Amino acid sequence: MGKYYGKKVLQEFLNPQNVGELEDADLVFTEDNPVCTADSPPSPCHLKLYLKIDKNRIGEAKFKLQGCVAAVAFLSKLTSMLKGKTLEEALKLTKEEILEALEQGIPDEKLSCPIIGIEKLQKELLPFLKKNSKTSKNL
């Protein structure tokens, strides 16, 4: 990591995957970035993440984001990596794994931006997983 965006991050930002809404999503959550590095409060950075869950697996993941290059690239990669994962696997996914998939190309000063996606995801997935494991044999 350093001062500039890496090639992989810029590719992901210029061609983001999984942007949009899922009308039949099983889990939708919104989040403002609590540690946004933008200058003017309140934070202008806002995320909406949609997950379609088929039995115990994430079938589809989409996002809408008002955020910086780092956050767009991170959410693009995060949603791509979530698809096909079981909920248990998704819960174990770390910020570091996604940064690694982006070849560590996010500048140091922007490393707090990806928190907008991963921390909220895990906060929301855990209760969903617990609730559904009591009501479904498939989970």
Q: Is 98 in the site for ligand FES (CB under 6 A)?
A: no
Instruction: Collect all residues with Cβ–Cβ distance below 8 Å to 55 and sequence separation of at least 6.
Output: 136, 138, 139
**Binder among 11, 37, 56, 132 for ligand FES (CB under 6 A):** 37
**Binder among 67, 105, 121, 125 for ligand FES (CB under 6 A):** 67
Q: Is 113 in the site for ligand FES (CB under 6 A)?
A: yes
Instruction: Collect all residues with Cβ–Cβ distance below 8 Å to 25 and sequence separation of at least 6.
Output: 50, 51, 52, 60, 62
Distance CA 93, CA 96 (A): 8
Q: Is 116 in the site for ligand FES (CB under 6 A)?
A: yes
Q: Is 14 in the site for ligand FES (CB under 6 A)?
A: no
- 43, 125 Cβ separation under 8 angstroms: no
Q: Is 22 in the site for ligand FES (CB under 6 A)?
A: no
Instruction: Collect all residues with Cβ–Cβ distance below 8 Å to 54 and sequence separation of at least 6.
Output: none
Residue 115 or 129: which CB sits closer to ligand FES? Answer: 115
Distance CA 9, CA 76 (A): 10
**Binder among 70, 98, 121, 139 for ligand FES (CB under 6 A):** 70
Per CB under 6 A, residues contacting ligand FES are 33, 36-38, 45, 67-68, 70-71, 110, 113, 116
